[in-house]
Amino acid sequence: MEFSVLLSLALLTGLFLLLVRGRPKARGHLPPGPQPLPFLGNLLQLQRGGLLSSFLRSVTANIICSIVFGERFDYKDREFLRLLDMIYQSFALISSFSSQVFEFFSDVLKHFPGTHTQINKNLQEVITFIGHSVEKHRATLDPSNPRDFIDSYLLRMDKEKSNPHSEFHHKNLTLTLLSLFFAGTETTSTTLRYGFLLMLKYPHVAGGPGTGEKSNLHSEFHHKNLTLTLLSLFFAGTETTSTTLRYGFLLMLKYPHVAERVQKEIEQVIGSHRPPALDDHSRMPYTEAVIHEIQRFADLIPIGVPHVVTKDTYFRGFIIPKNTEVYPILSSALHDPRYFEKPDAFNPDHFLDAKGALKKNEAFIPFSMGKRICLGEGIARNELFLFFTTILQNFSVASPVAPEDIDLTPREIGVGRVPPTYQIRFLPH
């Protein structure tokens, strides 16, 4: 009994020493934050997942969806994610050892529960999804204007309906769509993941470290940075740009006098005889100010990608230990009243000086800052200018509701924000 008491005391003492010694040395006050555990740190407080795997699946699946269904899905759409999950599960189960055993003894094993039961259930759910989509297409089919693969297939089915030997029938349509989903989603994304793994194994093939800069141990031209660069370009050039434009046109509906002034500047500088060009940037200060203010007001990504402290750093009475991840709070800068007179209001004058010229504002950091600034910034800026001006050059925008009734409240999606759903009419000039 006495031994167990002593053992318990020893364990408690050891735990206490671990907690005390596990803390950073008293070199100064750490910034406030969650208390890390010995050895584990804040690991248990983090949520991690197969980001690259799920991302590649979603991206490749959306390419197939745009071809097959004529539309792409939101990456947070539950039905879309459920569909991907069914395909992923089925692919994993079909590749399992038990499924291979089933193939040899299917006559006997088909009467017992097993992986084949789950595979059939998953496939039936995917087939049901496909069936609903086909029926929607059939109900809205316009023979003079096929929208996608399904429309084209349905038209061919109708054309060959009198041919009893035709291979264009409903069953083959379903099987074709299933094949497209598997080939274009799971196998493609898995091949890409394997490809990236091989590039890490053989960097000389990727052309990164081990080739021209092999002797430079500090070179930033390596595979990880290549992947991050491509991801940055992809997101900046697609999702963030399109979301900014959606928010921008919502703001034009809310503030029609701003849209009219932009159109007036377009008419003065560009006219209607040619499309906008990048050279027009510098001659259109008000339009540039409006685009800047759309980005500031929308505040799509409130938190930037993390930076890492390379050495112990003292800042405002606190110590930031080496290797600490620091996240720039972009939203704080974009709504700082010291730099923006009315931070919570949409006001393009935030970026114009007394003479109406575009002025630089150091708090305007929608693409983050420092060496981790979004590499797609240049692409995004050019895309925003060209799309925004081209649309307003050719169309006026109108809303079915009065401007004062338009709600600008964004929807939160993960760490990002998107504009609320709204209706818009594009009226050609």
Residue 154: left (phi > 0), alpha (psi -120 to 50), or beta? alpha
| 209 and 222 Cβ atoms separated by less than 8 Å | yes
Task: Report d(CA 374, CA 36) in Å as an integer.
Answer: 30
Instruction: Give the integer Cα–Cα distance in Å for 178 and 156.
Output: 19
Pair (290, 141) in one structural domain: no
**Four-residue CA torsion sign, 360, 363, 364, 365:** positive
pLDDT, residue 99, reads: 57
Cα–Cα distance between 103 and 126 in angstroms, integer?
A: 22
Q: Quick one: 187 and 254 in the same domain?
A: no
322 lies in some domain: no
pLDDT score for 231: 55
Mark whether 142 and 262 lie in a shared domain.
no
* Strand 307-308 to 325-326 pairing: antiparallel
Considering its fold, how many domains does the chain have in total? Answer: 2
Query: Token pair 């490809």 is at which residue?
Result: 195
According to DSSP, the residues that pair with 358 across neighbouring strands are: 352
Specify the pLDDT at position 265: 96
- pLDDT at residue 181 in the model: 63
* pLDDT, tens digit (0-9, with 9 covering 90-100), for 179-212: 666 555 555 555 665 666 677 777 766 665 444 5
Tell whether 287 and 178 lie within a shared domain: no
Report the SS3 class of residue 241. helix
Residue 128 and residue 255 in one domain: no
Distance of alpha carbon 380 from its chain centroid, rounded? 14
Asked, for residue 288, whether it belongs to a domain, the answer is yes
The radius of gyration of the chain from alpha carbons, rounded to an integer in Å, stands at 28
Residues 87 and 165 in one domain: yes
Say if residue 294 is in the same domain as residue 183: no
pLDDT at 169: 86
Residue 57 lies in a domain: yes
CB 304 within 8 A of CB 330: yes
Closest CA to 116 of 104, 134, 129: 104
| CATH number, domain containing residue 384 | 1.10.630.10
Q: List, in order, residues 6 or more apart from 280 with CB less than 8 Å away.
A: 269, 270, 385, 389
- Supply 266's token pair: 């377009």
In a domain, 333, yes or no: no
Q: Could you say which of 152, 182, 201 is where a domain stops? A: 201
80 and 173 fall within a common domain: yes
Q: Please name which of 86, 94, 88 lies closest in space to residue 115, comparing C-alpha atoms.
A: 94
| Token pair belonging to 206 | 């990727």
Q: Domain boundary at 153, 172, 201, which? A: 201
DSSP string, 357-375: -B---TT--TT--GGGS-T
Same-domain status, 95 and 155: yes
Instruction: Report the alpha-carbon distance of residue 124 to residue 132 in Å, rounded.
Output: 12
Residue with tokens 């029938």: 169
Low-confidence ranges of the chain (pLDDT < 50): 26, 47-53, 55-56, 209-211, 213, 235-237
Same domain membership, residue 295 and residue 379: yes
DSSP state of 409: P
353 and 407, same domain (yes or no) = yes
Q: Is 167 part of a structural domain of the chain?
A: yes
Query: Any known ligand binding at 374?
Result: yes
Predicted pLDDT at 209: 47
Structure tokens at 124: 């039936």
- Decide the pairing of beta strands 411-413 and 416-418: antiparallel
The whole-model pTM stands at: 0.50
> Does residue 341 belong to any structural domain of this protein?
no
Q: Is residue 264 domain-shared with residue 135, that is, in the same domain?
A: no
Q: Is 380 exposed, middle or buried (0-12, 13-18, 19+ CB in 10 A)?
A: buried
Q: Give domain status of residue 233, yes or no.
A: no
Domain that includes residue 300, residue range? 238-306+347-428
Q: With respect to residue 157, please indicate whether it lies within any of the assigned structural domains.
A: yes
State both tokens at 338: 């010291």
Q: Of 201, 229, 251, which residue sits at a domain end?
A: 201
Which residues, 6 or more positions from 322, have their beta carbon under 8 angstroms from its beta carbon? 309, 310, 311, 312
